[in-house]
Structure 1
Amino acid sequence: MDIINHTQVRMFELSGLTDDETLIPFLFIFFFAIYIMTIVGNLGIIAMVHLASYLQTPMYFFLSFLSMVDLLYSSTTTPKILSDLVSSKKTIAFNDCAIQFFFFGALAGTEVLILSTMSYDRYVAICHPLQYISIMTARKCWSFVAFSFGFGFFQAALQTSCVFSLQFCGPNHIDQFYCDIPPLMKLTCSKGFSCDALNIAVISSFSLYSLAAILGSYTLILSSILRIKSSRSRQKAFVTCSSHITCASIFFIPIFCTYFRPPSSVFEKQDKVASVFYSTVTPMLNPLIYSLRNQEVKMFIIRALTNCQAHVGDNVNKLHGRSHEFGLNLSL
């Protein structure tokens, strides 16, 4: 039968995370806790950067946008995961699938570019410290952010228009917990060679460009650090880079394991685990990593907790004083 006579699929069925009903309560609590921590952690980073005057630097400027992207990025998949865990039918409409696919790809691409921009920022800070302020101007920082969002959303628009212009005649079962490229391409009844080529080109160019930028920046950073005579200065330089290296590693490794290997049914479960990691766990870990490894962030948290404790103490003392005065009035 010719493709044009086939019925276009209007609803997809997702496989979800598990078929074992005994695991569902645990998984729901687990992912709900992860999502709450993601929201609190990333909103905390954004608020911290905007409230603390000593964090008004390019590094924390980019970190605030990374946190914003992580928050939105996690929100494209985690709420759907939670709803599917408590639902008997794990379905998603064709248009909703396209919307999720677009925003997931756009925010993933934006995060890749922001991570590479942050590596350039660390290169300028360590290799050209005296020119850092003149190089990393506010205008340049905003240009980097605009470039990251612009190209991230542009490549997602290309991929989405390509994939969802194909014919999906059935079956409609997506072997994943969200709308992703590999399982969707398995379902199309159109000849998707050009679309496959586009997807490979886009993912490869973004990932390899970002990876080359990060590796190139840190190669220059390492050579510069090794020339520093003071061991204390070397250690401080390493610490300023360690948070970014950790965040970039935990984001890129699962992506390369998922998209840059020959297709095989043997790895389907591993693919799902990798997808869970970079779509839900990584956005939660990024603010934790920067909070635990950056002295400026620790300082802000300690000051905030101290001020909060002092404020609570003052309120308790006021309440105690009022209750004591009220007791005296009653005795009179």
Structure 2
Amino acid sequence: MNSWNHTNEPDFILMGLTDSKEIQLVLSVLFLLIYLVTVLGNIGMMLVIRLDAQLHTPMYFFLTHLSFLDLSYSTAITPKTLENLLTSNKSISFIGCFTQLYIFILLAATECFLLCSMAYDRYIAICKPLHYPVIMSSRCCLALLTGSYVIGAVDSSVTVLSMITLHFCKSNVIRHFYCDTSPLLSLSCSSTNKVEVIIFIFAGSTILGSLITISVSYVSILSTILKINSTSGKQKAFSTCASHLLGVTVFYSTLIFTYLKPSKSYSLGKDQVASVFYTIVIPMLNPLIYSLRNKEVKGAVVRLVKKRQGSRKLR
């Protein structure tokens, strides 16, 4: 096969998850249901936070953007995956493929540092409660959010620009259900050593850097909680962090498994399972984790329902 890059662009073919028509049908129904829950859950979370004044705090400011990121990167992957499962059209253009890759890396990297910001917010709330209103000002929250998006944009730009210069000649069949770095690198007939080092450095610094920051924050938080004398005080302090800690654990465990390893150890089956989890399942789980385990969110939903019922009675 002749080599090509962005100047000579045939379509890629996404191999998908399985060749079995029966399994494809089952997966399409399952993924559609998950995606609908993802859309409703994340939009619902954003609306509840927007409509309830008691949730206009830094923590819920970040949670609103977490819902936006989850909804966005699920939308970048799931609809195309559903199309591949339900139709015979499994092609994606060269530009479309790298656009999908760019958007996904941008949003995933941004989420890493947004989770950092949320951990920092919890650290200030529990370890420095008297200084919380001053430190976590609107300007600080906006700076942390902007920084997260900027770092995500730099990470995705460097990764995609380094990959788009490669020549692909081995095949145009991507052994995955979306455009990701490892299956794309396996198609290159150019030397990928430099690109792999760049990806490893940026992915590693993004994942490990943010995870270390979160870990340091939670070590300080745990140390402070253990110094609280009352059991109820400890439970209250820990409950404010439990949802975030659970979300972080689920998100980072799959990212580390997928990206912080050499491309030669790429395994189609294992990587696809992990990829399904963090691209399709986790965006659905986050609004459930942060709502079902959060008394303030549940209270806000109850207040909004009562307010709506009261307005109907007045009519």
TM-score, length of structure 2 as denominator length? 0.95
Aligned length: 314
Larger CA deviation: 262-271 vs 38-47: 262-271
Aligned counterparts, 1:1-332, within 5 A: 8=8, 10-263=10-263, 267-309=267-309, 314=313
CA gap of 1:262–1:3, structure 2 versus 1, over 3 A, is closer
The one-letter code of the counterpart of 1:245 is L
Return the alpha-carbon distance in structure 2 between the equivalents of residues 2 and 261 of structure 1. Answer: 30
Return the alpha-carbon distance in structure 2 between the equivalents of residues 4 and 17 of structure 1. Answer: 26
Gapped regions of structure 2 (runs ≥ 5): none
Return the alpha-carbon distance in structure 2 between the equivalents of residues 2 and 28 of structure 1. Answer: 34
SS, match of residue 40 in structure 1 = helix
- 1:265 is displaced (CA, Å) by 6.5
CA gap of 1:307–1:4, structure 2 versus 1, over 3 A, is closer
CA contact (8 A) 2:46 2:67 kept: yes
- 1:305 is displaced (CA, Å) by 3.0
CA gap of 1:12–1:151, structure 2 versus 1, over 3 A, is same
Return the alpha-carbon distance in structure 2 between the equivalents of residues 52 and 310 of structure 1. Answer: 16
The one-letter code of the counterpart of 1:143 is A
Q: Which protein has the larger Cα radius of gyration, Structure 1 or Structure 2?
A: 1
- 1:179 is displaced (CA, Å) by 0.4
**1:235-289 deviations in whole A, cap 9, x for unaligned?**
0111100000111111111111112234567832111010000001111111111
Return the alpha-carbon distance in structure 1 between the equivalents of residues 311 and 84 of structure 2. Answer: 42
CA gap of 1:163–1:99, structure 2 versus 1, over 3 A, is same
What is the CA RMSD across the aligned residues, in angstroms? 2.1
CA gap of 1:2–1:96, structure 2 versus 1, over 3 A, is closer
Gapped regions of structure 1 (runs ≥ 5): 319-332
CA contact (8 A) 2:3 2:168 kept: no
Return the alpha-carbon distance in structure 2 between the equivalents of residues 266 and 282 of structure 1. Answer: 22
**1:68-121 deviations in whole A, cap 9, x for unaligned?**
111111111000011111111311110100100100000000000100111011
**1:202-256 deviations in whole A, cap 9, x for unaligned?**
0000001111011000000000000000110100111100000111111111111
CA contact (8 A) 2:12 2:94 kept: yes
The one-letter code of the counterpart of 2:180 is D
TM-score, length of structure 1 as denominator length? 0.90
- 1:22 is displaced (CA, Å) by 0.8
CA contact (8 A) 1:8 1:168 kept: no
Return the alpha-carbon distance in structure 2 between the equivalents of residues 96 and 229 of structure 1. Answer: 57
Larger CA deviation: 202-211 vs 296-305: 296-305
CA contact (8 A) 1:8 1:167 kept: no
Return the alpha-carbon distance in structure 1 between the equivalents of residues 205 and 138 of structure 2. Answer: 27
The one-letter code of the counterpart of 1:236 is K
CA gap of 1:44–1:3, structure 2 versus 1, over 3 A, is closer
Higher normalized contact order (CA 8 Å, seq sep 6+, divided by chain length): 2
- 1:309 is displaced (CA, Å) by 4.6
- 1:2 is displaced (CA, Å) by 10
Return the alpha-carbon distance in structure 2 between the equivalents of residues 124 and 87 of structure 1. Answer: 50
CA contact (8 A) 1:3 1:190 kept: no
Taking every aligned residue pair, what percent have the same amino acid on both sides? Answer: 42
Return the alpha-carbon distance in structure 2 between the equivalents of residues 259 and 13 of structure 1. Answer: 22
SS, match of residue 13 in structure 1 = strand
